[in-house]
Structure 1
Amino acid sequence: MAEQRVRRGRARWLVLPVAALAGWGCVRGVSASQDSGSPSHAASPRTSASAPADPSAKPAPGGAYDPADYAPQVRTYAKKAGVSARLLMAILYNEDYKPHDPAFERSWQKYKPDAAFGIANMHRAAFDETKRGRDFASRTWQELPDDRALAVEAAAWYLHDMSKQLPAHWAGPYSREELMALGYNAGGGNMAAFARGAKPGSQAADYLARLRGNWDKAAKAVGQAA
């Protein structure tokens, strides 16, 4: 689930607590000042029967992250979960605001225990609830930074669960996909309030604006008409 705070893009992550960055640098063997502005990824994946065998699902050391690289996983898991692949890809673009390096994420989580993990930025409680009765039920939240396919799979099913909470009709000026994205960001309760016509706060409004900005790019990434 997305971090619930106002986001200012990747630039925000250039100024992080010294403890978190120092831990990241120690793990990777480089100084924080060298790499804090350039996300890279260290692989330490666990194989999963539910994850595609495609090695692109694993973080690559020193490789820049592009959500479009995971279009095969997005299409696969969106279809299984019965949600829009375009929406799922747009969510990944929305969540691409911080370095998705496993070592960085774990260092940051020590500083902020309620931080989210993985390329879909999912919180522990959301992951544990979403995995119940599903193919990845035996997996753990701690695996999300290392297994991007698992992160995509969990996000797809979380969106599926959001769709089940939508009312049959709503008063707000939002599409079904926009409401589901707002639910991904702010939770099911807030999604229901927005559907009733409540005005999103600045954080949710920013999330929605960025989703709309990423909408055509997401369609192109998954091979759909914009």
Structure 2
Amino acid sequence: MSEEQKGSRWGRWLVVGVLVAAGWGIVRGGGHPAPASSGASPAATTTTGSSPDGSAPSTAPSKPSTPASTAPSKPSGRYDPADYAAPVRRYAAEAGVDPQLLMAILYNESYKPHDPELERAWQRSKPDASFGIANMHRAAFDDTKPGRPFASRRWEELPDDRDLAIQAAAWHLHDLAGQLPARPAAPLNHDELLALGYNAGAGNMLAFARGVKVGSQAQSYLDRLHDNWAKSGTAVQ
């Protein structure tokens, strides 16, 4: 979730993947990185302020063959967020957030392999790493869950339960939306600010909402959001 970890992290993911495969023989498929970005820095140039859905329509990615009755529970490595359109729609409705935004967040956060054992191996070497397909940190999960339908669940369950990861991300977006001012001073729309809040934290989101310029790292996250916007809308239709 935090972009501060993404720059050189892919190389270390490969090293961890080799160790995991050699030690346990569990990594069944390799992931592929998306363009790296890191946490928002209110420093550099401003964003254009264009809406995410202003990007050119793109064709939704093809889905791997899976049983029609159920989504894959714990596939290794590469995965298609569009396979989880049903829980995205369900939990977006539950939390009162835009399903297209929630799906776009999943696409933005799909830059690394999401094998449960690989995630745990990485977390053992880097305890502050994020978990699950929505890349949620422990503090964000624990702050979000009180009073919610998943209040009894644990952050450690996120790698094994993708529905839980989506549900927690939806409610986290709900909580971020509740912190936004009614009339932000920034040339950013509601969805862009929420995406930056998810990526960089509420403090940076509120700074951007007050008109602080978006830095290059945050802009990279927004650019990916724009790139993923059209196919996210197609996926949740």
Give the TM-score, by structure 1 length. 0.82
Cα distance in 1 between the residues matched to 2:16 and 2:77: 21
- Deviation track 1:12-64 (CA, whole Å, cap 9, x = no partner) reads 62x2167633442145416x8x955569xxxxxxxxxxxxxx6415113x574
Instruction: Report the RMSD for the aligned CA atoms in angstroms.
Output: 2.4
| C-alpha spacing 1:105/1:63, structure 2 compared with 1 (3 Å) | closer
Match of 1:107 in 2: 121
- Give the Cα–Cα distance (whole angstroms) in 1 for the partners of residues 77 and 124 of structure 2: 24
Corresponding residue for 2:232? 218
Verify the 8 A CA contact 2:29 2:77 in the aligned structure 1. no
Give 2:181's match in structure 1, choosing from 163, 167, 183: 167
Question: In structure 2, what is the Cα distance between the partners aligned to 1:151 and 1:25?
Answer: 25
Of residues 124, 128, 132 in structure 1, which corresponds to 2:146?
A: 132
2:2 corresponds to:
3
Q: Distance in 2 between matches of 1:35 and 1:163?
A: 36
Q: Which runs of 5+ in 1 are unaligned?
A: 40-53
By relative contact order (CA 8 Å, sep 6+), the higher-ranking structure is 2
Distance in 1 of aligned mates of 2:3 and 2:23: 27
SS of equivalent residue, structure 1 residue 108: helix
Which of 3, 15, 20 matches 2:16?
20
> Identity of counterpart residues, as a percentage?
57
* Cα distance change on mapping 1:110 and 1:6 into 2, 3 Å: closer
In structure 2, the gaps of 5 or more residues are 34-68
The count of aligned residue pairs is 202
State whether residues 20 and 110 of structure 1, in contact with CA within 8 Å, keep that contact through their aligned partners in structure 2: no
- With the length of structure 2 as denominator, give the TM-score of the two structures: 0.78
1:183–1:190 contact (8 Å) kept in structure 2: yes
Where does structure 1 differ by over 3 angstroms across 4 or more consecutive aligned residues? 34-39
CA deviations over 1:116-144 (Å, ceiling 9, x no partner) = 00000000000001001111011000000
Question: Contact 1:19–1:111 (CA<8 Å) still a contact in 2?
Answer: no
Look up the equivalent residue of 2:154 and give its one-letter code. T
Counterparts of 1:115 and 1:63, CA distance in 2: 17
1:73 aligns with 2:87: yes
